Amino acid sequence: MLQVNFLRENKERILQGLQKRNFKQLDLVDEAISADDERKKFQFELDQNLAEMNKISKEIGILMKDGKKEEAEAAKSKTAEFKENSQNLQQNLKETEARLLEILYLIPNIPYEKVVAGTSADDNEIIYQSHDVEGLDEGAIPHWELAKKYNLIDFELGVKIAGAGFPVYFGKGARLQRALVQYFLDKNTDAGYLEVNPPHVVNEASGYGTGQLPDKEGQMYFVNEDNLYLIPTAEVPVTNLYRDVLLDEKELPIKNTSFSQCYRREAGSYGAHVRGLNRLHQFEKVEIVRLEKPENSYAALEEMVEHVKSILTDLELPFRILRLCGGDMGFTSAMTYDFEVWSAAQEKWLEVSSVSNFETFQANRLKCRFKGEGRTQLVHTLNGSAMALPRIMAALLENNQTENGIRIPEKIAAYTRFELID
């Protein structure tokens, strides 16, 4: 969430940034400033009213002490009027603050200066590609057929138990999943990330803290009786560990990694492009989260990009890195890099990771600050997938199919304890 003072002091920059995002509700900026003006007016009137009440109360005490009861009673009648007025002003202030917050929740983050304008994924910048890609030999099949052939994943059983988008993993398929998770966690902890095992449900405050609410409310599974949400990513509970926390400058940077199940309704998702593992309602992911001093956050972002790059290199998969344009970035992000792996059997690129810097956008919602050099300021938050499992699995199966079976990359074979799925 952007700070209202930032909107007021940088209005032209804000509007230019929102246009870079192709955001249409530019009038929300003026609405927020207007609501803040009204909030300030009510606060001033309330302060004045309370000050006058305190003044009269002191006068009543003096009058009573001097035995001037009639004058004291007359003064008391005035305090009743001020009290009623204060109650009205407090109510108006509360309503105005709530309206201001609702408006601010609707305004997305401002893109970083390196982010180009654009309206869709077609406008994203390709900044790196590992090597040229090509299709597989004749007779190569997509991962959902490989999964059936080698009894790795059963999509129909998942439909029977829960519905579409909830696959069941068997045998070497389950072991490969588990091996990838352990490898990702080891890779992250070796890079200095502290492993965290958080809850897989969060309350409403946590959803608002990281920006999933109200932006993605329709995509989240909701447990009505308990007013809890199933997490769409470990980013939500891990980042909320630091909600309403004042850190010491010496504690930064904070680097966490977490494995979790992820739950996404993905309402309206259907068709060939979501077949097999391409898009699921439940999947496994390992996340990395960082809290940084503002002046260090973009260097940290580049470090995270290099870290994810090293993981995909270990997996021996063809991949590319894109810097997203303004119109394709998430609501909370200031800059995002997407990683895509090449699916040889499907002959298309599959997104497997997003690495983002949110600057102070999440921290302002979370009220996550640090104190250093005699002042308090908001941290910058960052997060990334390292990695999401489904499309990694799809690419591993498709790109490594041979006449003899599916070859397991050397770094992962050390975890699976088998080198071939046959």
Query: In this model, does residue 65 exceed pLDDT 80?
Result: no
Residue 202 annotated as lining a ligand binding site:
no
pLDDT of residue 58: 81
Across residues 214-240, what is the average pLDDT? 93
Percent pLDDT > 70 in the chain is: 97
Query: In this model, does residue 63 exceed pLDDT 80?
Result: no
Query: Can you list the pairs that 414-421 forms with residues at least 24 positions away whose Cβ atoms lie under 8 Å?
Result: 415/179, 415/180, 415/182, 415/183, 416/172, 416/175, 416/176, 416/179, 418/172, 418/175, 421/150, 421/152, 421/172, 421/176
Burial 64-73 (b: 16+ CB within 10 A, else e): eeeeeeeebe
Across residues 326-354, what is the average pLDDT? 94
Spatial CA neighbour of 282 closest among 364, 171, 162, 381: 162
Extended beta strands in 301-373, E state: 319-323, 335-343, 348-359, 369-372
Q: First vs last Cα of the chain: how many Å apart?
A: 51
Query: In this model, does residue 115 exceed pLDDT 80?
Result: yes
Residue 351 annotated as lining a ligand binding site:
yes
Spatial CA neighbour of 421 closest among 185, 181, 169: 169
State the sign of the Cα–Cα–Cα–Cα dihedral 173, 176, 182, 184. Answer: negative
Position 273 confidence tier, pLDDT thresholds 50, 70, 90: low
C-alpha–C-alpha distance, residues 15 and 223, integer Å? 38
pLDDT of residue 300: 98
Phi, psi of 266 (to 5 degrees): 45, 55
Residue 147 CA from chain centroid, whole number = 31
pLDDT of residue 132: 84
Query: In this model, does residue 269 exceed pLDDT 90?
Result: no
Residue 354 annotated as lining a ligand binding site:
yes
Query: In this model, does residue 323 exceed pLDDT 90?
Result: yes
pLDDT of residue 271: 53
Looking at every residue in the chain, the average pLDDT score rounds to 93
C-alpha–C-alpha distance, residues 148 and 137, integer Å? 20
Both tokens assigned to 169: 């993993």
Position 43 confidence tier, pLDDT thresholds 50, 70, 90: very high
Ranking 129-138, 276-285, 387-396 by mean pLDDT, the lowest is 129-138
Helix 171-190 with 297-314: angle, nearest 10 deg:
140
Residue 48 CA from chain centroid, whole number = 41
CATH assignment, 4-105: 1.10.287.40
Per the listing, tokens 């009269």 go with 56
* Residues 6 or more apart in contact with residue 154 via CB below 8 angstroms: 147, 148, 167, 168, 170
Per the confidence metrics, is the pTM higher than 0.85? Answer: yes
Residue 287 annotated as lining a ligand binding site:
yes
C-alpha separations of 60 from 47, 81, 135 in Å: 20, 15, 90
Residue 352 annotated as lining a ligand binding site:
yes
CATH assignment, 121-421: 3.30.930.10
Both tokens assigned to 315: 């997996």
Residue 130 annotated as lining a ligand binding site:
no
- Coil, strand, or helix at residue 105? helix
Percent pLDDT > 90 in the chain is: 82
Both tokens assigned to 416: 């699976």
Query: In this model, does residue 272 exceed pLDDT 60?
Result: no
> Beta strand pairing status for 375-378 and 369-372?
antiparallel
Helix 389-399 with 171-190: angle, nearest 10 deg:
120
Residue 353 annotated as lining a ligand binding site:
yes
pLDDT tens figures, 93-103: 999 999 999 99
Across residues 26-40, what is the average pLDDT? 97
Residue 383 annotated as lining a ligand binding site:
yes
pLDDT of residue 6: 96
Name the DSSP letter for residue 78.
Answer: H
Query: In this model, does residue 70 exceed pLDDT 80?
Result: no
Task: Please list the residue range(s) of the chain that carry CATH number 3.30.930.10.
Answer: 121-421
Task: Please list the residue range(s) of the chain that carry CATH number 1.10.287.40.
Answer: 4-105
Name the DSSP letter for residue 15.
Answer: H
Q: Which has more confidence, 73 or 150?
A: 150
C-alpha–C-alpha distance, residues 97 and 283, integer Å? 39
Write the DSSP assignment of 166-213 as a string of letters.
--EE-HHHHHHHHHHHHHHHHHHHHTTPEE----SEEEHHHHHHHT-T
Extended beta strands in 17-61, E state: none
In degrees, rounded to 5, the angle at the alpha carbon of residue 260 between the alpha carbons of residues 256 and 262 is 125
pLDDT of residue 345: 85
